Chain A
Amino acid sequence: MRELALNVMDVAQNSISAKADLIRLTVEEDTAADRLTIRLEDNGCGMTPEQVKSVVDPFYTTRTTRKVGLGVPLFKMEAEMTGGSFSVWSQKGEGTALTAVFVPSHVDMIPLGDMAGTVRLLITCNPDLDFVYTRSRDGRSFTLDTRELRAVLGGEVALSEPEVSEWIASYLQEQTAVVEGGNEE
């Protein structure tokens, strides 16, 4: 993948297939420690210990159209390529959490990319699910919680409503700029 944000879009689909209704995405950057952590947690159906083991195997997939599943293995490879790490936690009936740790200064580091765009599309295309997105860098951070937006919008306006979607896009862009700003590259 050309952006880590695309990997997130991809693996988030697994949470949606697992019937999660709350997905937490955390992107945490610590420039002094040279670490970038992406954590994706859901309250979906979870996996058995055997499934957890096989999820990083490219020849394991739950889909029926083909015999390979590359989403999680790719994400894992990209983290480990930079000298980082990758772990999966899951409990049947409780949910699943993926944690990928990257070393941004490594030559094989893939750019984070447009994470705000990914989050906006995930929310717009899955208006019945709740997302909590937290982005932080060196102590600055912001959180977008769709449950809060839902409370403001009331029951009659969906999160996929074009005007709402535009608002989410602008909000994410502004907040991301604040968090990423102050550290000229």
Chain B
Amino acid sequence: MKSLAELQAIRDRARAQVGLRAESGASTRVQVGMATCGIAAGARPVLNAFVEEVAKRGLKDVMVTQTGCIGICQYEPVVEIVEDGRKTTYVKMTPEKAVRVVNDHLVNGNVVTEYTIGANTQ
């Protein structure tokens, strides 16, 4: 059973390395569209996959968050990745695609072109 003592342990570990992350605010944001359209199209498993995969890889400078409807409901689930003012929009996402985006894009810096909106609107 999970206990609050485990949370305390997490806090104590974090305190020990607080210097490391103090100035390293999240520089990359992963925004998953979670309005009615996104959720109905399967955005929750996609969001879950991003949260899990980012946690598994310990990506400290990535913040996974949810956003509303951006008006392209036919392409949901939509995921936007924002880094230093640059925005990449991935469309028709799945949990499997999410894992690849974390590995290729967030870890190695290579945009997965075939999943972007540009490659899916022709």
In the complex, which residues 1-41 of chain B have their Cβ closer than 8 Å to any Cβ of chain A?
A: 1-2, 4, 6-8, 10-11, 13-15, 18, 34-36, 39-40
Q: Let me know if B58 and A162 touch, CB within 8 A.
A: yes
Given contacts A66-B69, A152-B4, contact A124 B64 (CB under 8 A): yes
In the assembled complex, the Cα of A166 lies from the Cα of B39 at a distance in Å of 22
Q: Let me know if A13 and B35 touch, CB within 8 A.
A: yes
Q: Let me know if B11 and A156 touch, CB within 8 A.
A: yes
A171 within 8 Å of B by Cβ? yes
Q: Let me know if B10 and A161 touch, CB within 8 A.
A: yes
How far in angstroms is the closest Cβ of chain B from A147? 13
How far in angstroms is the closest Cβ of chain B from A134? 17
Kindly identify which residue among B8, B36, B54, B65 contacts A162, using a CB–CB cutoff of 8 Å. B54
Q: Which of B43-51, B78-86, B97-105, B109-117 contacts A (4 or more CB under 8 A)?
A: B43-51
Chain B binding surface SS class: helix
B68 within 8 Å of A by Cβ? yes
In this complex, how many residues of chain A approach chain B with their Cβ under 8 Å: the count is 37
Residues of B within 8 A of A166 (CB): 55
In the complex, the chain B residue whose C-beta lies closest to that of A74 is B36
How far in angstroms is the closest Cβ of chain A from B49? 11
In the assembled complex, the Cα of A167 lies from the Cα of B8 at a distance in Å of 11
Which residues of A does B touch, CB under 8 Å? Answer: 1, 6, 9-10, 13, 17, 63, 65-66, 69-71, 74, 117-118, 121, 124-126, 148-149, 152-154, 156-157, 160-167, 170-171, 174
Some 10 contacts from A to B, beta carbons below 8 A apart, are: A9-B39, A10-B34, A13-B68, A63-B68, A152-B7, A152-B11, A156-B18, A163-B10, A164-B10, A174-B2
Which residues of B does A touch, CB under 8 Å? Answer: 1-2, 4, 6-8, 10-11, 13-15, 18, 34-36, 39-40, 44, 47-48, 51, 54-55, 58, 63-66, 68-71, 73
